[in-house]
Amino acid sequence: MNKPPHVYLVGAGPGDPELLTVKASRLLREADVVVYDRLVSAEILTMIPSGTAKFYVGKAAGHHHMTQDEINALLVQLARAGKTRIVRLKGGDPLIFDRGSEEARYLHEQGIPFSIVPGITSASACTTYAGIPLTHRGLARSVRMVTGHCQKNRPLDLNWNSLADPDTTLVVYMGLGHLQEIATRLQHAGLSGGTPAAIIENGTHSDQRRCLTTLAQLPEQARVQVFTTPSLIVIGRVVALAKELEWRQTSDHEQAFAEILGQSIQAEA
């Protein structure tokens, strides 16, 4: 008796293949076909057996290899073509600033069984690899995760007054293209321009790069140091701890800036 088709929406994490869950790793080995996104690292793709069919469906700002509707249709097409283990591999976590829930709803509407496998999201992994805790007693009592991406060049629709909380760590996904707006709006809402901030490019990858700066200097530093996507933005007093908690090699410039930020936080305490 033939097995019924099943789609697995799997989180690949932020890039380091050793951060894959045991379940995600097993499903990659057992998959009939893998449908993967742009942010799935090359190291993780090498874990897929050579005989497994692969479909690239990556999307970047202004350029979609396939539209979301086409991706939805592809998953259903593969299921109805007799594929029994279809892995939809997505960077980070399928349900955090991703389209996993939309794909799951479409599969449900089409009567295709599915499972969702969580992955480590960038807000947790990339900050950890950069030596930045999301919370710390006396510095941050909560975490806010927002997307800095908007459609058709519209202004970001965010509650800036709520986000401008000095006791909160703010993590911005896909915000590199709107840093000036983010920095300006947060300062207008009352958050100090001296608030520590960081940019983390290619977090958890071997070529990870970070910039330690302040909210006011964030747009300029991103421009001068030519940061590119994928980059994560972190704003909050916890960034000042990067020097003490850093466990990967950093540049002299980063170390010096971390010392300045640490002194600034101690002075405010």
Q: Which residues are catalytic?
A: 37, 59
DSSP letter for each residue of 136-161? BTTTBSEEEEEE---STTPPP---HH
Q: What is the secondary structure of 54-85 as a DSSP string?
A: EEE--EETTEESS-HHHHHHHHHHHHHTT-SE
CA dist list (Å): 197 to 59, 111, 125, 214, 254: 27, 46, 17, 5, 12
The sign of the CA dihedral 70, 72, 75, 81 is: negative
What is the distance between the alpha carbons of residues 106 and 116, in angstroms, rounded to a whole number? 14
DSSP state at residue 2? P
Residue 99, classed as helix, strand or coil, is coil
Evaluate whether 87 touches 8 at the Cβ level (below 8 Å): yes
